Amino acid sequence: MTAGAAFPGGLTEAEFLEAYWRSALRAPQVVADSALRAATLATNSDRLLLVGFVAGQLAEACRRLVAVWDALADRRYPVARSLLAPLPDAARWALFVDEAGRMAPEQMLRHLSLGDDAGALDAARKLRGEPALAELAPLVEAHAGGAAMVLVRGNEWHRPDTEPWYSGLDAAGTPLAWTSGGDEGAAAGLADLTAELVAIARGLLGAYVAARLSAGRRE
């Protein structure tokens, strides 16, 4: 078996990294935007499902951001190899939010061994400026548990101060977690946040990929 055969599609390590940066990290944003556009033309019942789908893409963007952070922070293992691991869970998301929240952007770059790359520094500043990442923990928990992301209204799970709330439901229909919700305007906010987290993850990983390519170290 060649070294590249261990990566999907027989890609080399460098090819996999570039493909991950170009496609896997962007996927939640592309899908969320598409679902949001479809929701504007959908029936009421279908719109609820599509907005829930947007919430699921936000959760995936959260988990992929942590995957990139962990892969860059722990260079005992090849970054590409680390990105092949299952996406981080809700407990790891909570630790990440606390860890990143204690660092200045310049400290983040040192922690991730990204030097003084301008794109990475911009991504780190955006990450440091996100005010409410901890509030996404229930959404990440539901997504990591394989829950369906749906909207619920007017039942025993309803929070009286906000309608609707996004919920992750298990196979029996039991709510696993709540996160802030609302109408289509709130759904657009979820899609915007998805795009922001995708941009941060791509900015961090992109600095590493660019350094690899400029050094000519293709496997």
Per domain, the residue ranges of the chain are 9-134+183-214
Residue/partner pairs of 8-17 with CB below 8 Å, 24 or more apart? 12/218, 12/219, 13/78, 13/80, 13/81, 13/219, 14/80, 14/212, 14/213, 14/217, 14/218, 14/219, 15/218, 16/80, 16/83, 17/79, 17/80, 17/83, 17/205, 17/208, 17/209, 17/212
Tell me which residue has tokens 């078996």.
Answer: 1
Q: How far is CA 208 from the centre of its chain?
A: 18
pLDDT tens for 169-210 read: 555 555 544 444 444 566 788 889 999 999 999 999 999 999
3-class DSSP assignment, residue 166: strand
| pLDDT tens, residue order, the chain (219 aa) | 344 447 888 888 889 999 999 999 999 999 999 998 998 888 876 777 787 788 889 999 999 999 999 999 999 999 999 999 999 999 999 999 999 999 999 999 999 999 999 999 999 999 999 988 998 888 888 888 887 666 554 443 333 344 444 555 555 555 544 444 444 566 788 889 999 999 999 999 999 999 987 765 444
Each residue's pLDDT tens digit, 141-156: 888 888 766 655 444 3
- Lay out the sheet containing 148-152: strands in order across: 148-152, 165-169, 175-179
Largest CA distance in the chain: 59
Peptide linkage before 164 cis (omega within 30 of 0): yes
pTM of the full structure: 0.84
Tell me what pLDDT residue 148 has: 67
Decide: residue 131, CB within 10 A, 0-12 exposed, 13-18 middle, 19+ buried: exposed
